Amino acid sequence: MPPSLPRISARAVILRDNRLLLVNAYAAADSTLWCAPGGGVETGRSIPDNLAREVYEETGLRVSVGPPCLINEFHDPQSGFHQIDLFFRCKVTEGVLDDAWQDPEKTVDRRRWVTKDDMRSLRVKPDSLADIAWRDRAFGYDPLEVMVGPK
């Protein structure tokens, strides 16, 4: 069987009051893995349009999408799954986080603003997210980070 093409995903790096917005990475209630909001890119729409849609679906927040700041690749050597995440710096233009917000895909049900210190006690992917979020570094690239499960 030929290998499948990598999945393309767009993710938002959103800092507000020196806190980064994170969402649960897996739908499982006992999952402890966090990530930046975002998701799969649909064909026929620009990457920034896809990202703004995903952030709204997952958080209820409207964002303006700024410059890219990180490319991260996840792969699962056993299944062959390969995902390329494109991270962009974003700013909230409308809305507030509300626990009552419902993700139409029912994946994200937890969202939170975290400090850099908070991130030290959380499981967050990709590994370089905190470094990129709180640095003025223009761009980063993490090749082929091995995927981890929800727990």
Give pLDDT tens digits for 15-56.
999 999 999 998 888 889 999 999 999 999 999 999 999 999
Most confident of 21-30, 48-57, 79-88, 127-136: 48-57
Average pLDDT of every residue of the chain? 90
What is the number of residues in the chain? Answer: 151
Q: Would you say residue 1 has pLDDT above 60? A: no
Give the CATH fold of the 7-146 domain: Nucleoside Triphosphate Pyrophosphohydrolase (3.90.79)
Residue pair 87/69 in contact (Cβ under 8 Å)? The answer is yes
Select from 12, 125, 104 the least CA-distant residue to 58.
104
In the block, which residue shows the tokens 């917000």? 101
What's the pLDDT score for residue 72?
A: 92
pLDDT at 136 over 70: no
For position 141, what pLDDT does the model report?
A: 67
For residue 4, name the pLDDT band (cuts at 50, 70, 90). confident
pLDDT band at 143 (very low <50, low <70, confident <90, very high): low
The pTM score is 0.89
pLDDT digits (tens, 9 = 90+) for 91-121: 999 999 998 999 999 999 999 999 999 999 9
- How far, in Å, CA of 121 to CA of 81, rounded? 28
